[in-house]
Amino acid sequence: MAKKFGIQFEGFNELIKDFENLGGDIRLITEDCLKAAHEIVTPKLKADMNRHHRTGDTEKSIKINPTITWEGTTASIDVGFKISQGGLPSIFLMYGTPRMPKDTKLYNDIYGGAVRKLIAQRQEEILQDAIQKRLGG
Amino acid sequence: MEDKLIELLTTFGFPVRRQGSLSSNENYPDTFFTFWNNNESEHSAYDNETFNAEHDFDVNCYSTDPTKAYDLLRQARILLKNNGFVIASRGHDVASDEDSHIGRGMNVLILNNEQ
């Protein structure tokens, strides 16, 4: 199913404050950070769905185009399978059933610790680069 | 740690099976647990030797009675927590091969000191 990703890494609050103090566009940098999560996860999902290819319907339900939703000052992005668009089998695959073993790799593409770490690293890089640009670096 | 998990879940009096281990022509029991070991990793090390290992499991409960599936998973959560498991999850739906059953699942972790 689609998972909502946010921006989470150590030191985020301090960095975003620095960026804001330098006149940076918080909204824009937030969207760039969220898109990073989508860019990291989506190719992994598509690659791992090759093992489960039959009709291609479940793979087609993967959210290809990142859509960012703002609710007040909170932004989020959906990543993964859209259940209402043929993505229901993804639940079977990612959690398994009593007759079907779990595809742990597919599950970890969205929920795994390694991918969350990768996303956090990329988001921190994006914010650091943006700050450096503001400083004229 | 897998043995410990199975032993604890078995105290509820229902079958405990590895996720995916039921064959295609095997009937679902009315109520049963499944588990899956997601990962066994080194949580901490000292002098290049594992000090604590982290064991990550899914625990699922399937039943023809939805109330039982929910209640049993809650009870399992309490029992496992009282026996050292760390459980942030309070339960989520899991898919069933059979229309007659619903499934509820959770993720559980346990650290094992290997020194």
- The ipTM, to two decimals, is 0.88
Q: What is the CA B44 to chain-centroid distance, rounded?
A: 23
Q: What is the DSSP letter of A100?
A: B
Q: Is the pLDDT of residue A137 over 70?
A: no
**How near does any CA of chain A get to the CA of B49, in Å?**
22
- Interface size between A and B, measured as CB pairs under 8 A: 58
B114 — pLDDT class (breaks 50, 70, 90): confident
| Interface residue A9 vs chain B (CB under 8 A) | no
Contact by Cβ (8 Å): A2, A94: no
**Amino acid identity at A33:** C
Q: What local confidence, expressed as pLDDT, does residue A88 receive?
A: 86
Cα–Cα distance, B37 to A101 (Å, whole number): 11
Tokens at B87, concatenated = 């459980």
Contact by Cβ (8 Å): B29, B15: yes
Q: Is the pLDDT of residue B44 over 80?
A: no
Q: Per this entry, what is the length of chain B?
A: 115
A3 — pLDDT class (breaks 50, 70, 90): low
Q: Which residues does chain B have within 8 Å of residue A109's beta carbon, measured at their own beta carbons? A: none
Q: What local confidence, expressed as pLDDT, does residue A1 receive?
A: 58
A99: nearest CB among B60, B97, B105: B97
Q: Is the pLDDT of residue A9 over 90?
A: no
| Interface residue A132 vs chain B (CB under 8 A) | no
CA torsion A36-A10-B58-B81 (nearest 10°) is -160
Rg of chain B over all Cα atoms, to the nearest angstrom = 15
